[in-house]
Structure 1
Amino acid sequence: MRKSVSHGQNGWFLENNTVRLFLTETGGHMAPVSFFHSSKKPLEPYFISPWQDEHQIPERPVLRPMRGDFFCVPFGIDNAYRKEEHPSHGESAVGQWESPTVTIEGEDVFLSTRIRTRIREGSVRKEIFLKKDESVIYQRHIIEGFTGPLSLGHHAILAEPGKGRFLISHSPIRFGMVAPRREPAYRTQEYYSLSPSARFTRIEKVPTIWKEDPYADCSVFPAREGFGDVLQIYQRQPRAQGKPAWICAGAPSEGYLWFALKNPEILNSTILWMENRGRHQVPWSGRTCCLGLEDVRSYFAEGLKYSARKNPLSEIGISTSLRLKENQALTVPYIQGVARITKSFGKVTHARFDKSGVSFFDAYENRVEVPVSWGFLFE
């Protein structure tokens, strides 16, 4: 580990023989990340906001370091709850993290850091593990001292593929829903193409606002330039207990498959934020293209204010927050990684887990095997 500056932010580089990552001191945002960094063709899938290298300072604190993946507690925009006024995506995404401690065992690396929260007094400990020869990042966040309802989740953001498009797929879902919209586009300077609050069963067929083109295929991105859309999918519990839920984005033109694995009993849904130059406020300025694949327990990105009370999801049995008791700690494990794929590798249709890791298959039964200790999610 070494302290450094990357794209305008102070933080720390951490690496082993396969993965090199940067963690910002402000907000604990993770990027850039280079997988296979010592090879001739390293892979760097994560988004770094363009204003990082500019002199403007965004008004909203979470946008200042915004990049890669960061942990949000509480998750969402409007986090007013009773007398609490949490910032957008919580103090964990905007506050100052302590200088980490690092343990090294051969080519395995373990980092631990912490942030003390003031609005709801407590702390969040961040642990990152890198294992020898694995193109995988293991994360664990331990929330301590919090009492009451909480929305939470990871906010992973991928950069637009240079030449092609992402092919998005996921483990089985119950259904999905498009985000509600309380303000028309001309007031917020954000333009959307999907029908607000519409339900769907497949991301390949999501209702739009247009009569002439009533459905959109949201398994492909970028698409629908000039619009920024948000939808949420709700995972089924895997048939076998103790098996992960997953989401992935393949970029065959760039030669990689990005994936995330989670414990669906903790993070029970995934938000797809498909930003294709649809936001025109500063600092977005109609120029930003990125894909958010955000594993959460939350009512969209509406925040704790809406996640902790009755909402259209909680009324049909979808939990949108967790309630922590006094002196109860909560551990949230998470895994992200990449695998190299060929240009002929198609959209993932299913995954198979065994003792050595996970295998992802496309429709033609082409397979990519990834060594990963996914049992970490259930320890």
Structure 2
Amino acid sequence: MEIFTFGAEGISVSIDLVVGHVADLAIERDGRTLKPLHRAPWADEPRRTLPENLPEGVVRLSGDFLCSPFSRADMEEAPLHGWSANSAWEVTASNALPDGWRASFRLKRKVMGATVDKVLTLRHGHPFLYQEHVFTGGAGAISVAHHAMTVMKDGGRLAFSPKRLAGTGDDALEPDPARGRSLLAYPARTADITRFPAADGGEIDLTDYRPERLQEDFVTLVEAVTSRLGWTAVARKAEDDLFLVLKNPAELPVTMLWISNGGRDYAPWNGRHRGVLGIEDGRTAVGHAASLGDNWLRREGVATAFDLGARVAFRQVLGALPLGALQLPQQLSAESERLHLVMADGRSVEAPFDAGFLRIGAPLAGMEPA
């Protein structure tokens, strides 16, 4: 068995047990089926047609997965994004709840000596996947991130919980024009995500995903110190829906955006990876060693790793609503088992939501005003 599927009323999720990726998320709402997650075009192609040196997590790239560490695994031997994104998981429990279904999975390998568990919960009538990852034992420290990906055939618009800073690292993802193209400036910083410095000296609005803008870029957004509920909303134009990613910023203080829109010309990308946006909530810098040492995020007062040894857990929520093309929220709040959205046009929208799941309310850990 490679794909494990379970569901509750109005929602189902499939997990690729070979690599632990969310292979599919389907939400039934208002007579529609919403499928907000991306699956790479080569993920179902024969392995022999792909480059031999590809990490298994890239071969089967889909949906969302746990990175531990995020990016380079340079503290213990592992592929890109660690064994949690590239190796097998086993089902340890799958049980009905009074109001839904819960399934648990365990990574067959250990990370820095720690046992890693994934707990996924679906609730009847809720348009959300509730995710928790738990590290037990181990030694040292680990950087972590989710790697949720959506796709837009004709672009879309983005909105976020308040951010105090957006920044790129030292090196562009694709600096060689013979292999691809990056459009953002590296390194760069700004407090205005609608005017991020571009490589050509201009500016790019990070809230506007344009299909004609071919690029491969990576930028990190730092949550405002005042934030209690962290969120990203993507209004997908052609898909006519709203994709939502929610977190507790005290656990995952950064949101990294991977903008992958035809910006890589080599295999397996071959210019066909279009309209993809990674929304990667994490506690990390780029690379395991960098996350544990000096890095630009730490200099901004942002925690970039969890200490291992005792139980470490963090949570994230993925979901979608059929709100119509380019309808974006300005504010989100969670209370009384409801998610409340205040839309840009002043309307209020509600959806059933486990308001206690993200454990919102604690001050941001490891974040102080710069």
- Please report the TM-score for the alignment, with normalisation by the length of structure 1: 0.88
2:267 paired residue among 282, 289, 293: 282
Q: 1:368 aligns with which of 334, 338, 349?
A: 349
* Superimposed CA distance per residue, residues 160-187 of structure 1 (whole angstroms, 9 cap, x where no aligned partner): 2x3x422111111111102321686228
Question: 5+ residue gaps in structure 2?
Answer: 361-370
The SS at the match of 1:86 is: coil
| Aligned-residue offset at 1:117 | 2.5
- Contact map agreement 1:235 1:264 (CA 8 A) in 2: yes
Q: Give the deviation of 1:305 after TM superposition.
A: 2.2
1: distance between equivalents of 2:351 and 2:315? 18
Q: Does 1:295 align with 2:281?
A: yes
Aligned residue type for 1:311: N
Contact residue 172 and residue 186 of structure 2 kept, 8 A: no
**1:368, CA displacement in angstroms?**
2.2
Match of 1:265 among 250, 253, 260: 250
Shift of 1:188: 8.1
Q: Does 1:87 align with 2:79?
A: yes
- 1:110-169 alpha-carbon deviations (Å, 9 max, x no partner): 101101324622211111100011111111111112211211010000022x3x422111
Once residues 143 and 212 of structure 2 are traced to their aligned partners in structure 1, the CA distance between those partners, rounded to angstroms, is: 30
Percent of counterpart pairs with the same letter?
25
Structure-2 residue corresponding to 1:333:
315
Taking the TM superposition and a 5 Å limit, the aligned residue runs for 1:99-248 are 99-106=91-98, 108-118=100-110, 120-160=112-152, 162=153, 164-181=154-171, 185-186=175-176, 189-211=179-201, 214-223=202-211, 225-238=213-226, 243-248=228-233
2:121 counterpart SS class: strand
Distance 1:69 1:183 in 2: 20
Q: Which amino acid aligns with 2:136?
A: E
Runs of 4+ aligned residues of structure 1 deviating over 3 Å after TM superposition are: none
C-alpha contact (below 8 Å) 1:101/1:112 kept by paired residues: yes
CA displacement 1:246-290 (0-9 Å, x = unmatched): 111112542321111111111000001111100122111111021
Conserved? CA contact 1:279–1:286, under 8 Å: yes
Preserved CA contact (<8 Å) 2:132 2:313 = yes
Change (3 A) 1:91 1:187: farther
Greater Cα offset, 120-129 or 245-254: 245-254
Contact 2:328–2:343 (CA under 8 A) maintained in structure 1: yes
**In the aligned structure 2, how far is the partner of 1:149 from the partner of 1:329?**
12
Q: Distance in 1 between matches of 2:138 and 2:314?
A: 14
Deviations for 1:205-253, whole angstroms, at most 9, x for unmatched residues?
A: 1110113xx10111011345321111110002346xxx42111111254
226 and 253 in structure 1: CA distance in 2 versus 1, 3 angstrom threshold = closer
Q: Is the 8 A contact 2:19 2:56 kept in 1?
A: no
Q: Which residue of 2 aligns with 1:378?
A: 359
- Kindly provide the amino acid, as one letter, of the partner of residue 348 in structure 1: P
Write the distance in 1 (CA, Å) between the matches of 2:17 and 2:173.
34
Give the CA RMSD over aligned residues: 2.1
Amino acid at match of 2:303: S
